[in-house]
Structure 1
Amino acid sequence: MKESPKTGISGGEQSDEHRTVLADRRRRFVMDDLLGRVWPVAVYDLTDRLLSWEAERGNDTEPFDVVRAKLVDVHLPKLVEAGLVDPVDGQRYELTEAGLTLEANARGIDLAAVEEDPEWVLSD
């Protein structure tokens, strides 16, 4: 995970750009999905999980290829431009430090506590 120079995030603050970018449900899904992954995620896998998520909520879904193209051409570039995700090899993406911080703050997760004791996630 790399620090992005365009973050604009300190503490729990969210820039206007981030609020605008994250207003879209599909971009929110991508951020949420990437937060739960250890390794960079392939666009194919993001698309598959996004379609499943939309179907579970009763949303009309578009064909796989259309959704994948929208992720590649619209949603992921906006998240990259906002400094929230980074492309790894053009087909896989991961959260930046800014994206991780933003998502953790939105969920009330203390990243310092996680760094001190990474096993806390596994404990009951």
Structure 2
Amino acid sequence: MSSNNTTTLSRDEVYDILSNGRRRFVIYLLRQEGGQIALNELSDRVAAWENDIPVDELSDQQVKRVYVSLYQTHIPKLEESGIVEYDKDSGVIKLTSNVASLDAYLPDEDRREIPWQTIYLGLAIVGLAVYGIATAAQGTIPQGVLNVVGLLIFVTFGAVVAAQYLYERT
């Protein structure tokens, strides 16, 4: 398939492609290597990743097992879906522009997650402290002020919940 062709993948096809760790790692490595890598090198890197050892410590059997799996199963599946092109003469695998169709289903490495539980904990501690201080000073502070403090704490929690909802929705 040519990299100029764009194939729209269904959600089920995307899930099927990404359901295998080797295929996800192949896509990751191809992106790290600028979009192309030789099958031999890819086999070495995948085997090293799966066995959690450096490439130079791999046995021939470990590499061969991965090579055969990539050659017979995973690369053809990625090629059929239009995600990669495989040149059998040179042994080079290249990403196509269709890889972008997977982006919505893969975690964005550049996007930092907001630690919502930490925000809620901090807000609860601050709210409890403010309310505790206001309650301790109850004789000197009118009841209406205590009600306003409680309402402000409640509204602040509501605002944080709304912010989290909007953040996770986008």
TM-score in terms of structure 2 length: 0.51
Provide runs of 4+ in structure 1 moved above 3 Å. Answer: 102-105, 107-110
* Alignment partners' CA distance in 2, 1:21 and 1:56: 23
Q: Secondary structure at the match of 2:94?
A: strand
**Deviation of the 1:63 alpha carbon:** 2.2
- Contact (CA 8 Å) 2:14, 2:102: kept in 1 or not? no
Larger gyration radius, structure 1 or structure 2? 2
Alignment RMSD, CA only?
2.7
- Contact (CA 8 Å) 1:84, 1:95: kept in 2 or not? yes
Q: 1:82 is matched with which residue? A: 81
Q: Does 1:52 align with 2:48?
A: yes
Q: 1:33 is matched with which residue? A: 29
1:78-121 per-position Cα deviation (integer Å, ceiling 9, x unaligned): 0001111111344110111011x1454434489xxxxxxxxxxx
Larger helix percent: 2
Q: Does 1:67 align with 2:66?
A: yes
| Structure 1 gap segments, 5+ residues each | 111-124
Q: 1:116 is matched with which residue? A: none
- The share of aligned pairs that are identical, in percent, is 28
- Contact (CA 8 Å) 1:31, 1:103: kept in 2 or not? no
| Structure 2 gap segments, 5+ residues each | 54-58, 111-170
Q: How many residues align?
A: 101
TM-score in terms of structure 1 length: 0.68
* Alignment partners' CA distance in 2, 1:39 and 1:95: 5
Q: Does 1:19 align with 2:15?
A: yes
The 3 A distance-change label for structure 1 pair 39 and 89 is farther
Given residue 2 of structure 1, which amino acid in structure 2 is its aligned partner? Answer: S
- Contact (CA 8 Å) 2:8, 2:101: kept in 1 or not? no
Greater relative CO, 1 or 2 (CA 8 Å, sep 6+): 1
